[in-house]
Amino acid sequence: MGGGSRHRPESPPKQSLRERFVAMRNLPPFLRGVWQTSPFLSVSTIVLRLLRALLPVVTLYVGKLIIDEVTHLIRAGVLHGDLSAWWNSGDLNRLGGLLLLEFALAVGADILGRIVALIDSLLSELYANTTSVQLMEHAASLDLEDFEDADLQDRLDRARRQVAGRSSLLSQLLGQAQDIVTIISFAVGLAVYAPWLIVLLLVALVPVFIGELHFNAQSYAVNYQWTPERRELDYLRMIGASATTAKEVKSFGLNRFLIDRYRVLSQSIYRANRTIALRRAGWGGLFTTIGTIGYYAAYAIIAFRTVQGHFSIGDLTFLSASFRRLRTLLEGLLVGFSQVAGQALYLDDLFSFFLIKPEIFTPEHPRPFPHPIREGFVFENVGFRYPDAERWAVRHLNFHLRAGEVLALVGENGAGKTTLVKLLSRLYDPDEGRILLDGHPLAEYDLQELRANIGVIFQDFVRYYLSAADNIAVGRIEAREDVSRIEASARRSMANEVIDRLPKGYQQMLGKLFKGGVDLSGGEWQKIAIARAYMRDAQLLILDEPTAALDARSEYEVFQRFKELSHGKTAVIISHRFSTVRMADRIIVLNEGRIEEVGSHEELIEKSGHYAELFELQAAGYR
Ligand SMILES: Nc1ncnc2c1ncn2[C@@H]1O[C@H](COP(=O)(O)OP(=O)(O)OP(=O)(O)O)[C@@H](O)[C@H]1O
């Protein structure tokens, strides 16, 4: 969260006219994406819209013919006594035919419009689904480091909103294309009768266009600038009203604080939006009035010329209606264009998110992963610094994690234990030095294979709101159906005792998010999480303090089993409990990112160094 001092870019990005036009380059890939989603639906909507586009001018022209026919009939004075006699005389045939035609056109236009709207909504939804999946897939390929970057979070957030809220872009875009065809057809009609009307039209419309363009750019800029705050709003809403936070929020009485913070923040966003909306409404009103003046000027001229005998009454209605429709259409087109340009800017976020490339990836020709690992892992002068951090989290790490040994990492909070583990599982790459596996850098192996061979349970493991069985199966999701494997893993981590007590056993939904879910104690969750490591059947097992919530007996038993069961397997355990740590073959003591001591429990006690001091401290606490 931003706290009190909010960073605001000096000049709002991407709001110049030129940049808006540049953003239009996003439209071709967008349309290509839509096309690939469903070529059939795409073709259908284009063809139907083309038909629909020509209907208005045809309808208006038929209207003109009707009026001309009516005036003709009046002038000719062919009035018969009653309607049926008149009808039978055949004088009304042409008028009747024209009326029928206009009726058919109106019905046709309505039906076509509905079909087109239906296709557009189907197509938009399909496209939004496809893009959401791509978004998830791409997010999955990114580095952990990327996710810890607030800028990326902002961009991802805008991209998500783009997908969720902007699927109207497609119908807008297609509607524009359709309107252009209609406009051309009207313009041709107008040009034939009175070309000067078109000039008048343009003069009336230009101010509206520029106004729209300007205010859309401002809206985007505001939206862009306030992304972090909007994310904070979401976050506040989430911690203010979710099952996982309710306990703490209630007992600390945080609700008032959260609500006030939400209110203040949402009001500032509201004020920024209101300012733009007000200015937009004011200027928009003025510009529209100019357009209306243009329309009535044209109307007066047409009427005058009709009186002079240049136009028929039918022409008068056709021209004035054409002019009015053209004005509305062009206004819509221009406003729509600037909206499309605005949406194209949001597409920028979506597409630029796709352009972020992970830095940790599998080389083109990966080295086959060793089965079994022979020598183990060697850290050679490894150093790592978190992005934007001043301090090295770990530095000058030199040690050998031998195949088959159980290594414990000990150190005070922030000493670098978790960081070391993240480097080992290649969630980060070192900034200095290198890590070798059986003599070759980790980066030469296939990333998926490396991760598949490492089973790591972090201290902040995830409590999935899934069934108990699935909570274990996530350790090796391909084996989700393998009940005996899941049960065996549960027995090893003692999770079976927890699950046996659940009303629905392995099928019990865990967590309180969904109906019928049962929550577990911290230690019970941990036993479930540890079962994931066994599920994985990896060559290297890493337990990063996942036992912190286990009672002393459970932790002892869990590690006893761990040692027995991981026999021959390489393992790294992080724990603050020395009863556990002393079971390891070797212990590394970390201090401020450096290795301070290495040895077995006995050796380190003998040495009377940092380890012995920490051990004494804990032992004294129990005496
Ligand atoms: N994602 C991160 N971004 C920036 N700095 C981090 C990040 N994670 C850890 N650090 C910093 O790196 C240092 C080492 O952290 P690390 O999590 O490795 O410690 P640890 O020994 O596991 O501590 P603990 O016993 O509290 O779990 C700390 O100074 C910490 O503040």
The ranges assigned to domains in the chain are 38-355, 462-537
More confident residue, 466 or 220: 466
Q: Are strands 440-441 and 594-599 parallel, antiparallel or unpaired?
A: unpaired
Each residue's pLDDT tens digit, 193-209: 778 777 777 777 777 77
Q: How confident is the model at residue 430, as a pLDDT?
A: 95
Which residue stretches of 252-308 are H helix? 255-307
* Residue 349 predicted with pLDDT over 90: no
Give the integer Cα–Cα distance in Å for 190 and 197: 7
Each residue's pLDDT tens digit, 125-157: 888 888 888 888 888 888 888 887 777 788 787
Phi, psi of 421 (to 5 degrees): -65, -40
Q: How far is the CA of 472 from the centre of ligand 1 (A)?
A: 27
The single-letter DSSP state of residue 361 is -
Give the integer Cα–Cα distance in Å for 514 and 505: 17
Enumerate residues lining ligand 1, CB below 6 A.
148, 386, 389, 393, 411, 413-419
Atom of ligand 1 nearest to the CA of 459: 27
Atom of ligand 1 nearest to the CA of 411: 21
Atom of ligand 1 nearest to the CA of 412: 25
* Residue 3 predicted with pLDDT over 50: no
* CB neighbours of residue 66 within 10 Å: 19
Ligand 1, from 147, 149, 384, 386: best to mutate by most atoms within 8 Å of Cβ?
386
| Amino acid sitting at position 343 | Q
Query: Bridge partners of 602?
Result: none
* Residue 498 predicted with pLDDT over 70: yes
Q: How far is the CA of 389 from the centre of ligand 1 (A)?
A: 11
Q: How far is the CA of 78 from the centre of ligand 1 (A)?
A: 98
Q: How far is the CA of 610 from the centre of ligand 1 (A)?
A: 20
| Amino acid sitting at position 50 | L
Give the integer Cα–Cα distance in Å for 175 and 162: 19
Angle subtended at Cα 611 by Cα 609 and Cα 615, rounded to the nearest 5 degrees = 120
Phi, psi of 445 (to 5 degrees): -95, 160
Q: Determine the average pLDDT of the residues in 170-190.
A: 87
Give the integer Cα–Cα distance in Å for 255 and 129: 36
Q: What percent of the chain shows pLDDT beyond 70?
A: 94
Secondary structure (3-state) at 283: helix
Atom of ligand 1 nearest to the CA of 593: 14
Q: How confident is the model at residue 6, as a pLDDT?
A: 33
Q: What is the CA radius of gyration of the chain?
A: 36
* Residue 7 predicted with pLDDT over 70: no
The CATH code for residues 38-355 is 1.20.1560.10
Phi, psi of 541 (to 5 degrees): -105, 135
Closest residue to atom 6 of ligand 1, CA basis: 386
| Res. 551 pLDDT band, cuts 50 70 90 | confident
> In residues, how long is the chain?
623
| Res. 169 pLDDT band, cuts 50 70 90 | confident
Closest residue to atom 7 of ligand 1, CA basis: 386
Closest residue to atom 30 of ligand 1, CA basis: 414
Q: 3-state SS string over 422-443?
A: HHHCCCCCCCEEEEEECCEEHH
Looking at every residue in the chain, the average pLDDT score rounds to 85
Q: How far is the CA of 394 from the centre of ligand 1 (A)?
A: 9
Task: Answer yes or no: are the C-beta atoms of 185 and 362 closer than 8 Å.
Answer: no
Q: How confident is the model at residue 166, as a pLDDT?
A: 53
Ligand 1, from 413, 418, 431, 572: best to mutate by most atoms within 8 Å of Cβ?
418
Q: How far is the CA of 418 from the centre of ligand 1 (A)?
A: 7
Highest mean pLDDT among 85-94, 279-288, 417-426, 579-588: 417-426
Q: Is the dihedral of CA 334, 338, 343, 344 positive or negative?
A: positive
Phi, psi of 122 (to 5 degrees): -65, -45
Give the integer Cα–Cα distance in Å for 382 and 391: 14
Q: How confident is the model at residue 10, as a pLDDT?
A: 36
Q: Is the pTM of this model over 0.80?
A: no
Each residue's pLDDT tens digit, 430-465: 999 999 999 999 999 999 889 889 988 888 888 898
Atom of ligand 1 nearest to the CA of 422: 18
Ligand 1, from 152, 412, 417: best to mutate by most atoms within 8 Å of Cβ?
417
Whose structure tokens read 């689904």?
A: 129
Q: How far is the CA of 535 from the centre of ligand 1 (A)?
A: 28
* Residue 11 predicted with pLDDT over 60: no
Lowest mean pLDDT among 11-25, 232-246, 263-277, 415-429: 11-25
Each residue's pLDDT tens digit, 391-436: 999 999 999 999 999 999 999 889 999 999 999 999 999 999 999 9
Q: How confident is the model at residue 623, as a pLDDT?
A: 62
Q: Determine the angle formed by the axes of helices 39-76 and 93-141, rounding to 10 degrees.
A: 160
Give the integer Cα–Cα distance in Å for 59 and 65: 10
Is omega for the bond preceding 372 within 30 degrees of 0, making it cis? yes
| Res. 103 pLDDT band, cuts 50 70 90 | very high
| Amino acid sitting at position 325 | R
Each residue's pLDDT tens digit, 39-93: 999 999 999 999 999 998 899 899 999 999 998 888 887 766 677 777 777 778 8
Q: How far is the CA of 21 from the centre of ligand 1 (A)?
A: 45
Q: Determine the average pLDDT of the residues in 232-252.
A: 81
Q: How far is the CA of 156 from the centre of ligand 1 (A)?
A: 25
Q: How confident is the model at residue 365, as a pLDDT?
A: 92
Closest residue to atom 18 of ligand 1, CA basis: 416
| Res. 165 pLDDT band, cuts 50 70 90 | low
Q: How far is the CA of 591 from the centre of ligand 1 (A)?
A: 12
* Residue 12 predicted with pLDDT over 50: no
Lowest mean pLDDT among 90-94, 96-100, 551-555: 551-555
Each residue's pLDDT tens digit, 106-131: 999 999 999 999 998 898 888 888 88
Each residue's pLDDT tens digit, 358-386: 888 888 999 999 989 999 999 999 999 99
Atom of ligand 1 nearest to the CA of 576: 25
Q: How far is the CA of 3 from the centre of ligand 1 (A)?
A: 22
* Residue 352 predicted with pLDDT over 70: yes
